[in-house]
Amino acid sequence: MHKAYRYRIYPTTEQKLFLDRHYGCCRFVYNHFLALRKEKWKNEQASLSGFDCKKMLPELKRQHPWLAEVNSQSLQAAVLTLESAYRRFFKGLGQYPQPHKKHSRQAFSVTQNFILTNGTLRIPKLKTPIRVKQHRPLGGHPKNLTIIRESSGKYYASVVCECVPAHLPISDSTVGVDLGLRDLAVLSTGEKLEHPKWLRKAEKRLSKAQRRLSRKQKGSANRQKVRIQVARLHERIKNQRQDFLHKLSHRLIIENQEVSIERLRVRNMVKNRHLAKSISDSGWSELARQFHYKAEWYGRTVKVIDTFAPSSKTCSMCGYVHKGLKLSQRVWQCPSCLVVHDRDHNAAVNIDIIGQGMPEVTPAERRAAAVSVFSIKQVRSKKHQVGAKKQEALASQ
């Protein structure tokens, strides 16, 4: 199992020049082979593999001697990064690879001969060690190092280690999570986590900084200063969101043997221009990603139920499907068993039960057990009753 550790680093002015030289060379190699692959396909309807590009790298270094000033491993890693981008594109996991820009996030990798110890980092071809804020020790054998310069100008070192999974003792508890916009997450236990709205809170300061940036002359030193201010505001928002999601996912994975969530088609939902900003600020996909890899770390299970399962419209007590439930109804009463439901909590309970895969039982047994159950078989048989309104219901939450 691989696990990444990210540390803040503080290079000197001389070391920054060395790192920036690596960023420039790796960016040049990436963009060169990207253009070459595009041209190859346009002219010959043929493609170049990552292996083909690596074989052409020595000739490229002879044509451009300044490429020899940086670590050869980093140049090879840039070729592999391009190959990985193409593979993700062909698998439908990402967009077509685009050229790397100079002032955006920069990174280069080192696969061998780096040493991280006692708050210092040594990498090939750099004579002096880089100071590192090593706030926690590595949890395994280091395999790969990536040196990152964010758009804000801050530098980080990300170390990938090979670790042994630390599985926790088996727990009897399970939880269902209903994601929304009013409350970021509602748990089947009844707990509601209010949406922090990181972007909305910082929107005024961000807009003011962006207006100042638009007035600056391109290429000027003052524009560069304001650009860094805007980038740092974005970085702060991102860090706040990541911190909240990491704490939430860690707590739920630690406390529960099984976490059930709903598959959300975020790519389709953000097409709604009225809700796109709030949906993007929620980080639903990132939360689901964290659930999955942390479950692998700790020996837990994550269940993902179908998008169109009528979790909000179904009574978690008796299984009755309320066909006429409106999107604006946050609290509703089941016409069959007369139980009053909070819409979001009811959905979370149904998600939990569907995830557990419990068999269908009678309403009397449900009431006797004082639990909410909803079988997968019943969900599938009622799927056609919700149709395309399911995504709108999720967005209104």
Asked if residues 29 and 173 have their Cβ atoms less than 8 Å apart, the reply is no
Q: Which of 195, 231, 197, 238 is nearest to 213 (CA)?
A: 231
Asked if residues 186 and 192 have their Cβ atoms less than 8 Å apart, the reply is yes
- pLDDT at site 259: 93
344 is catalytic: yes
Q: Rounded to an integer, what distance in angstroms lies between the CA atom of residue 367 and that of residue 369?
A: 5
**Beta-strand relationship, 141-149 and 155-162:** antiparallel
**Ranges in the chain, pLDDT < 50:** 358-397
Which of 83, 258, 281, 344 is labelled catalytic? Answer: 344
Q: Which of 268, 259, 241, 260 is nearest to 394 (CA)?
A: 268
Query: What are the tokens at 59?
Result: 């000739």
71-81 residue pLDDT tens: 999 999 999 99
Which of 178, 258, 281, 352 is labelled catalytic? Answer: 178
Which of 258, 262, 281, 352 is labelled catalytic? Answer: 262
Angle at which helices 198-215 and 221-255 cross, to 10°: 170
- pLDDT at site 266: 83
Residue linked to tokens 């000027």: 220
- pLDDT at site 329: 80
Q: Which of 147, 168, 142 is nearest to 2 (CA)?
A: 142
243 is catalytic: no
Secondary structure (H, E, C), the chain: CEEEEEEEEECCHHHHHHHHHHHHHHHHHHHHHHHHHHHHHHHHCCCCCHHHHHHHHHHHHHHCHHHHHCCHHHHHHHHHHHHHHHHHHHCCCCCCCCCCCCCCCEEEEECCCCEEECCEEECCCCCCCEEEECCCCCCCEEEEEEEEECCCCCEEEEEEEECCCCCCCCCCCEEEEEECCCEEEEECCCCEEECCCHHHHHHHHHHHHHHHHHHCCCCCHHHHHHHHHHHHHHHHHHHHHHHHHHHHHHHHHHHCCEEEEECCCHHHHCCCCCCHHHHHHHCHHHHHHHHHHHHHHHCCEEEEECCCCCCCCECCCCCCECCCCCCCCCEEECCCCCCEEEHHHHHHHHHHHHHHCCCCCCHHHHHHHCCCCCCHHHHHHCHHHCCCHHHHHHHHC
104-161 residue pLDDT tens: 899 999 999 999 998 999 999 999 999 999 999 998 899 999 999 999 999 999 999 9
pTM for the predicted model, two decimal places = 0.80
- pLDDT at site 205: 94
Q: In what order do the strands lie in the sheet with 2-10?
A: 106-110, 141-149, 155-162, 2-10, 130-133, 120-122, 115-117
Q: Rounded to an integer, what distance in angstroms lies between the CA atom of residue 298 and that of residue 292?
A: 10
